[in-house]
Amino acid sequence: MNTFNDTFLRAATKKEVEHVPVWYMRQAGRSQPEYRELKKKYSLEEITKRPETCAWVTKLPVDQYNNDAAILYKDIMTPLPGIGVDVEIKAGIGPVIDKPITSMQDVDKLYELTPEKDVDFVLETIKILRTQLTVPLISFSGAPFTLASYMIEGGPSKNYNKTKAMMYAEPETWFALMDKLGDMVITYVKAQINAGSQAIQLFDSWIGALNQEDYRFYVKPVMERIFASLKDEGVPLIMHGVGARHLTMDWQDLDLDVVGLDWRYPIEEARRDGIVKAVQGNLDPSVLMAPWPVIEKKAKAILDAGMQQPGFIFNLGHGVFPEIDPAKLKQLTAFIHDYSKEKLAQK
């Protein structure tokens, strides 16, 4: 068996590394021909409920690209049926929820999550992966705002109109929902850590829709509670959202280890603004549509900025698109490793 590569964990905790670790959001999935072949037979739900298959999907890109971390293949919606929310992932649309949450009665009806019963397949996949992987396994959960947005809108949204309407017009219902989702996230994440996950990323993908004032009032309290409950679990905690530059300083207040940046927040500016935590990012995934010299130039600039201090993980600012050629991801990983190794050796 190969030696365990702990570079990702070292970077996440701001320790010295020999090369910059890299993984890609959605590295497992849509852009891989082997995955698309599998999807002809099984839906996302079916794959997640077949631990051996799900482990194979999770491990595939790590082997192919030589990435420094694996991220468990599943959806942020995966635990929701466990609390009584019927979700269907529709191709070309995303998660669709037929009976959206509209009232306190709906919130009252949500159950508590019982991981061994409701997401046993997730825990089983984690256990299998820990026997197979030689890099750390990242698990994840959606964060309450983003989960709530699907539950209230009934699916993906452009404006989060109904979500914000509940926040502003029915704050008691809103906070009750945040409480229940906060409980769920804590239970779900702890179970994943107990099963063997070595890092956790919280996806608050759509939180950037809120301004700072609303974030602080309507969402930050539950995030404080979540991270306070998880900080002693002994694994690095990563926060990610898209277009959330204006909330990054608030994330820094939370008991978490790594702050995700998207491509609109240059790392050097984040450092200048006072972000001292480890950072993860931030190539625009659309750049992977470009010819190699453009990708290399942009990756190099990100590496040069990121390597200025310990605590940098290379990633994309958002997930890999289906159109991306896997060969480019492999080439990019090799470039990140080689370039950073040389630079860090000179330090």
Binding-site residue set for substrate: 26-30, 75, 150, 205, 318
The two tokens of residue 35 are 């995955």
Contact call for residues 288 and 320 (beta carbons, < 8 A): yes
Residue from the set 45, 120, 179, 284 that interacts with its own copies by CB under 8 A: 284
* Cβ distance to its own copies smaller for residue 110 or 320: 320
Q: Using the rule CB under 8 A, is 103 a contact of its own copies?
A: no
The two tokens of residue 273 are 């603004």
Please report where in the chains the tokens 């491509």 appear, as a residue: 263
Q: How many Cβ atoms from other residues are within 10 Å of residue 99's Cβ?
A: 12
In whole angstroms, give the CA distance from residue 160 to residue 148: 10
Contact call for residues 247 and 235 (beta carbons, < 8 A): no
3-state secondary structure of 311: coil
Residue from the set 23, 218, 251, 265 that interacts with its own copies by CB under 8 A: 265
* Cβ distance to its own copies smaller for residue 137 or 148: 148
* Cβ distance to its own copies smaller for residue 38 or 104: 104
Contact call for residues 290 and 256 (beta carbons, < 8 A): no
Binding residues: 26-30, 75, 150, 205, 318
Residue from the set 36, 99, 127, 165 that interacts with its own copies by CB under 8 A: 165
Report the nearest approach of its own copies to the CB of residue 246 (Å).
Answer: 5
Q: Using the rule CB under 8 A, is 154 a contact of its own copies?
A: no
Q: Using the rule CB under 8 A, is 296 a contact of its own copies?
A: no
Q: Which residues pair with 139 in a beta bridge?
A: 200
Angle at alpha carbon of residue 276, lines to 178 and 26, rounded to 5°: 55
Residue from the set 35, 65, 218, 263 that interacts with its own copies by CB under 8 A: 263
List interacting residues with its own copies (CB under 8 A). Answer: 159-162, 164-165, 168-169, 208, 210-214, 243, 245-246, 263-266, 284-287, 289-291, 294, 318, 321, 323
